[in-house]
Amino acid sequence: MISIRGLTKRFDGAAAVDALSLEIGAGEICVLIGPSGCGKTTTMRMINRMIDADAGSIVVGGRDVTRSDPVELRRSIGYVIQQVGLFPHLTIAENVATVPQLLRWDAPRVARRVDELLALVHMAPDVYRDRYPRELSGGQKQRVGVARALAADPPVMLMDEPFGAIDPITRASLQDEFLRILRELDKTIVFVTHDIDEAIRMGTRIAIMRAGKLVQYDTPQAILAHPADPFVEAFVGGDRALKRLSLLPVDAFRANAPPPANAPRIARTANLRDALSLMLSAETDCAAVVAADGTVAGSLTLATIREALVVRA
Amino acid sequence: MLADAWHYIATHPQQFATALGVHIAMSASALALAAAIAIPMGLVAARRAGVALAAINAANIGRTLPSLAVLALAMPILGTGFAPSLVALTLIALPPILTNTIAGLIGVEPDIVDAARGMGMTARQILRRVELPLATPVIFAGLRTAAVQVVSGAVLAAFIGGGGLGDFITAGIAMMATPLLLVGAIPVTLLSLGTDFLFGTLERRLTPRGLA
């Protein structure tokens, strides 16, 4: 969906992005991550020509970005920033209607779309339609920000630390919620963050950048299992084994053998990290895997969890 | 003494009405001219940080010049009468409008402009739909300051033969006739207060609902 080749951008002679190449498949969430100044935001902003590249090419859905009209291009790509940037003088509905209005949709169609989107991001249209941004909390503002970016149903979305300014508790629930929404809508997303836990949670694939170069580009699983070099290893953190376990669903490692009678119970939908924690605190080496209706679906052993950690290519 | 002033107005209605009319016409034209010059200038200057700073500094120096000095300087160049007074008053009104236009535009949060650009608004659309509405309260505050300055400054036009309510004041001072002085001074005071009130109301009316 997005194909980046040899992308280079220099600021005052120094390369902020240095011959970067990246392929992002349709429906994928590609997380760009790295320390500040690594060029992740610059890379993202070159995709909708907020910054013009010095060299290289970006093709989005078969179209060469560097040869497209920037205004028309930007209307076809969703754009979400950390500070949200809602227009304070416009109502929530008017904010969400921005791109459809730029595209000259007729009024009834715009109104229908606005209500549809507000409902999608769980902002009751009747309650919030006519409110102003200053009346909303940080989390609500970003819900509106995402709704506004989705308005004209762009196939590609650029998100620059969308949850960066939101408190940790709200952030976790927004991450889950938006992950669900964006997967449902089958969007291709370029997501910039400096939070590795967020990257692991949201990313289909993670691109780790340093000094304008791509250091490693792979699935969260693979990056946690095989960090390409000591920089990546340090970046993903000392608890990468635990992080990997949190990506593995209990259900995939469930054995059909019946669990012992007194085994602690873990949901099929939980992850191995939760299961490990449960077993350690219950001082046992086997847990009962239960389905949503409470029936026992099998068992999970400590040995299985250990095996799961053994790296599979 | 007030009664004497009132008596003067009552016996010279034509003269008073003309002076009041000239005063208002001169002030309103000066303000309109200044706005027509300073607002576009501000829009251009605000685009470049260096130019904006230079413009604000120049305007602030302009502000420190006493109104009387501006009028006195206008006389040798432009002569006497209505037109030179108008030019001088326009010069007096320029700085507050210019600085506030620039400040209003610079004060728009960069994130808001970034979002607007990122969604595909053209520069013109960003200015019209985002920057100008957000800068309106500040620009209007500048117009308000300028309007009050012009209405009171127009009194000085009498010194260079520009007419207006200042005629009564200068004549009153020259003849040491306080009632005559009041015939000019009291209406000017009321006019200034009225102008301030009018522009204050407009400012509130034109502030977008989401702000404030």
pTM above 0.80, yes or no: yes
A164-212 pLDDT, tens digit each: 888 888 888 888 888 888 888 999 999 999 888 889 888 999 999 999 9
- pLDDT confidence of residue A224: 87
B79-126 pLDDT, tens digit each: 888 888 899 899 999 999 999 999 999 999 999 999 999 999 999 999
- pLDDT confidence of residue A311: 59
Residues of A in contact with B122 (CB under 8 A): 71
Instruction: Read off the pLDDT of each residue in B40-47 and give the average, rounded to a whole number.
Output: 92
Share of chain A above pLDDT 90, in %: 53
Dihedral sign, CA of B7, B12, B16, B17?
Answer: positive
- Cα–Cα distance for residue pair B130/B112, rounded to 1 Å: 8
- pLDDT confidence of residue B212: 67
- Cα–Cα distance for residue pair A263/A299, rounded to 1 Å: 9
Mention every residue, 6+ apart, whose C-beta is less than 8 A from residue A74. A48, A49, A50, B117, B118, B119, B120
Distance from CA of B115 to the nearest CA of A (A): 5
pLDDT > 70? residue A230: yes
pLDDT > 70? residue A18: yes
Mention every residue, 6+ apart, whose C-beta is less than 8 A from residue B202. B140
State the residue range of the domain holding B116: 2-205
Q: Determine the residue of chain A that is closest to B111 in CA distance.
A: A85
Q: Is residue B31 part of a domain?
A: yes
- pLDDT confidence of residue B126: 95
Number of Cβ pairs closer than 8 Å across A and B?
Answer: 75
Residues of B in contact with A148 (CB under 8 A): 119
Lowest mean pLDDT among A51-65, A187-201, A259-273: A259-273
Q: Is residue B6 part of a domain?
A: yes
pLDDT > 50? residue A81: yes
Q: Determine the residue of chain B that is closest to A81 in CA distance.
A: B115
- Cα–Cα distance for residue pair B42/B47, rounded to 1 Å: 9
pLDDT > 70? residue A158: yes
- Cα–Cα distance for residue pair B36/A169, rounded to 1 Å: 52
Encoding tokens for residue B167?
A: 């005629």
pLDDT > 80? residue A82: yes
pLDDT > 80? residue A238: no
- Cα–Cα distance for residue pair B166/B155, rounded to 1 Å: 4
Q: Is residue B55 part of a domain?
A: yes
pLDDT > 60? residue A312: no
Answer yes or no: do A84 and B111 touch at CB < 8 A: yes
Q: What is the end-to-end Cα distance of chain B in Å, rounded?
A: 45
Lowest mean pLDDT among A39-48, A113-122, B49-58: B49-58
- Cα–Cα distance for residue pair A73/B114, rounded to 1 Å: 15
pLDDT > 50? residue A313: no
Q: Is residue B136 part of a domain?
A: yes
Q: How confident is the model at residue A280 (pLDDT cuts 50, 70, 90)?
A: confident
Residues of A in contact with B116 (CB under 8 A): 85, 87, 98
- pLDDT confidence of residue A27: 92
Residues of B in contact with A48 (CB under 8 A): 118
pLDDT > 50? residue B167: yes
Q: Is residue B149 part of a domain?
A: yes
Q: Which long-range contacts (CB under 8 A, 24 or more apart) does B19-24 make?
A: B19/B163, B19/B164, B19/B165, B19/B167, B19/B168, B19/B184, B20/B165, B20/B187, B22/B82, B22/B162, B22/B163, B22/B164, B23/B151, B23/B154, B23/B163, B23/B164, B23/B165, B23/B166, B23/B188, B23/B191, B24/B191
Q: Is residue B212 part of a domain?
A: no
Lowest mean pLDDT among A47-51, B63-67, B168-172: B63-67
pLDDT > 90? residue A118: yes
For chain A, give the longest Cα–Cα distance. 69
Q: Nearest by CB to B111, from A75, A85, A132: name it.
A: A85
pLDDT > 90? residue A3: yes
- pLDDT confidence of residue A295: 86
CATH number at residue B42: 1.10.3720.10
Distance from CA of B123 to the nearest CA of A (A): 10
Instruction: Read off the pLDDT of each residue in A37-47 and give the average, rounded to a whole number.
Output: 93
Lowest mean pLDDT among A198-207, B29-38, B62-71: B62-71
pLDDT > 90? residue B36: yes
Q: How many independent structural domains does chain B possess?
A: 1
Phi–psi pair at A180, nearest 5 degrees: -65, -50
Instruction: Read off the pLDDT of each residue in A154-172 and give the average, rounded to a whole number.
Output: 89
- Cα–Cα distance for residue pair A64/A66, rounded to 1 Å: 6
Residues of A in contact with B119 (CB under 8 A): 74-75, 79, 98-99, 102, 148-149
Distance from CA of A148 to the nearest CA of B (A): 9
Calculate the alpha carbon distances from B79 to A40, A179, B70, B159, B183 in Å. Answer: 65, 74, 13, 12, 27
Answer yes or no: do B133 and A148 touch at CB < 8 A: no
Q: Determine the residue of chain A that is closest to B116 in CA distance.
A: A85
Q: At what angle do helices B13-45 and B132-153 cross, to 10 degrees?
A: 140
Q: How confident is the model at residue B65 (pLDDT cuts 50, 70, 90)?
A: confident
Residues of B in contact with A74 (CB under 8 A): 117-120
Element (H, E) at A57: strand A55-60
Mention every residue, 6+ apart, whose C-beta is less than 8 A from residue A242. A273, A276
Q: How confident is the model at residue A304 (pLDDT cuts 50, 70, 90)?
A: confident
Distance from CA of A161 to the nearest CA of B (A): 13
